[in-house]
Amino acid sequence: MKVIVIGGGVVGTVLSLLLNMRGVSVTLIDAGLQRPGYPLVHSKLLRFREDIELAKVSENIYRDLSRHLGMNVLHDIASITIVKQDCYEGEIKDLLTIWKDAGVKTEVYFNASDIKDYGLKSVQSDEVYVVSNGGDHLVNMPKLMDHVRRSRDIVYINGKASIKRNKQNIEVLVNGDRYVGDHVVIAAGAWNSIIMRNVDVKLPLLPYKCQAAAFLSSRVNGIVYDYVLDIYIRPLTPMLSSLLGRFGLSIIAAGDGNTEIKEPGTNGYIDEGFLSELMSKLRLRVGRVLRVGARFGYCEGTPDMRPVIVPLLKDRLYLIGGFNGYGAEVGPALALAVTEQLLNGTWPRYAEPYLVSRFGNAQDFVWDINKEAHELCVD
Ligand SMILES: Cc1cc2nc3c(=O)[nH]c(=O)nc-3n(C[C@H](O)[C@H](O)[C@H](O)COP(=O)(O)OP(=O)(O)OC[C@H]3O[C@@H](n4cnc5c(N)ncnc54)[C@H](O)[C@@H]3O)c2cc1C
């Protein structure tokens, strides 16, 4: 079987590896439009039960890939979730049981003095702190991407692909060449809908801008999901974290998970408003910070902000997307689902809620991008 994968980001990379490990001949085409510069967060501390299931499957995939490729891409890390008392009572208490079933150990604290060791300050008097172990990881996605590009078993083509319908077949055009496979899978993130325009297919997908910045700060231990200030804070890399930690310092990456609809290629800049708001929130939570970098990228959402798998053209063509801010958390599981569908003709049960059929037959989808699906304490 020959499969052409368009898009070598988070999902296309894992999909190519999974197919290749099962003996499928893979051609991976990537335009180099977006690439994570540092490890991404993988967390099972999610809001929806089905997403937590995907995060568990994804964790196992990272472990399998690490074993198979002889390189560890999964680094365990503790986290602190900070919420207000009413969110704790109304939402988090119930989630603790689901997280426990997913192998997460949690301890709940109500006093500011309990979070001092994590390098954090209390901001409001009604804060609750959930310290978790076994639920979060940093995934070395750049390493996996480099591996795929160097692999002799996967044909890697650097270029911008477009697709063309030819009777019941799909042709992939890149760098002036034409490729035909048994199946084509489009995993081009925020560029998915642009590619689909060529074949006149409208899907419930919207691209939006997502941004983050890096700071030098006093030492912060673990990942911080701060739902009081609506920001997240995480070490940039595990290595930097252990190196700088000896001097009481950290390089942290932080963001706010806010969304603004934007087609890729337009207005590629970091918002000054985003940076100044983020810095003032960081000062409250961790003290003084010095900005050392900033990054923006494009993410993709669906009407319910959960990912989607779209089978098209009698299963010759698949699209997998809508991963908003949690592609490293749930993406590999759905890449495995597509792999199983291609090889066995059936969807694993965990993938069924993510099929595009959940949106019905509407052709003209009108909606606004919502809060990302991994956010907690959302009204
Ligand atoms: C700053 C930032 C920080 C983030 N942090 C995290 C995190 O810690 N954890 C997490 O889970 N998620 C995080 N995300 C979100 C995560 O990056 C996305 O969920 C994920 O990348 C989606 O995966 P994807 O494979 O669908 O798309 P992408 O990873 O965006 O990959 C799409 C790929 O398609 C390629 N492409 C596009 N068009 C074409 C074409 N025509 N031909 C060929 N190739 C094409 C692009 O070059 C790109 O490589 C972050 C996002 C940003 C911007």
Q: What is the mean pLDDT of residues 333-350?
A: 98
Instruction: State which of 323, 354, 369 you would mutate to test the pocket of ligand 1, scoring each by most atoms of that ligand within 8 A of its C-beta.
Output: 323
Cα(95)–Cα(98) distance, integer angstroms = 5
Q: At which residue do the structure tokens 């439009």 appear?
A: 33
- Going by pLDDT thresholds of 50, 70 and 90, the confidence category of residue 261 is confident
- pLDDT band of residue 259 (cuts 50, 70, 90) is confident
C-beta of 10 in contact with ligand 1 (< 6 A): yes
Contact in structure between 36 and 48 (CB atoms under 8 Å): no
Q: What is the DSSP letter of 67?
A: H
For residues 112 and 122, give the distance between their C-alpha atoms in angstroms, rounded to a whole number: 5
Q: Is the pLDDT of residue 176 over 80?
A: yes
Relative to the CA of 190, which ligand 1 atom is closest?
A: 30
Say which DSSP state 355 is in: B
Q: Ligand 1 center to residue 126 CA distance, Å?
A: 36
Any ligand 1 atom below 6 A from CB of 54:
no
Averaged confidence pLDDT in the chain: 94
Dump pLDDT digits (tens) for 296-321.
899 999 999 999 999 998 889 999 99
Amino acid letter, 155: V
Listed in sequence order, the DSSP H helices in the chain are 10-21, 49-69, 85-87, 93-101, 141-150, 192-197, 238-245, 272-286, 327-344
For the entire predicted model, the pTM comes to 0.96
Ligand 1 nearest-atom number relative to CA 13: 25
Task: Name the pLDDT band for 266 (thresholds 50, 70, 90).
Answer: low
Q: Who's near 365: CB < 8 A, 6+ residues apart? A: 202, 203, 204, 303, 359
Neighbours of 255 (CB within 10 A): 19
Predicted local distance difference test score (pLDDT) of residue 363 = 65
- At residue 299, the 3 state secondary structure works out as strand
The tens digit of pLDDT for each residue in 223-245 reads 999 999 999 999 999 899 889 98
Tokens 């809001």 locate to 47
Nearest alpha-carbon partner for 6 in 138, 125, 160: 160
Cβ neighbour number for residue 27 with a 10 Å cutoff: 19
Domains of the chain: 2-35+142-205+304-359 (3.50.50.60)
Whose CA is closest to atom 53 on ligand 1? Answer: 297
Q: Kindly tell me if the per-residue pLDDT of 353 is higher than 90.
A: yes
pLDDT > 70: percent of the chain: 98
Per residue in 117-169, pLDDT (tens digit) is 899 999 999 999 999 999 999 999 999 999 999 999 999 999 999 999 987 78
In short, whether 235's Cβ falls inside 6 Å of ligand 1 is: no
The confidence band for 3, taking pLDDT boundaries of 50, 70 and 90, is very high
The answer to whether residues 82 and 227 touch, using CB atoms and an 8 Å cutoff, is yes
User: Could you tell me if the CB of 328 is within 6 A of ligand 1?
Assistant: yes
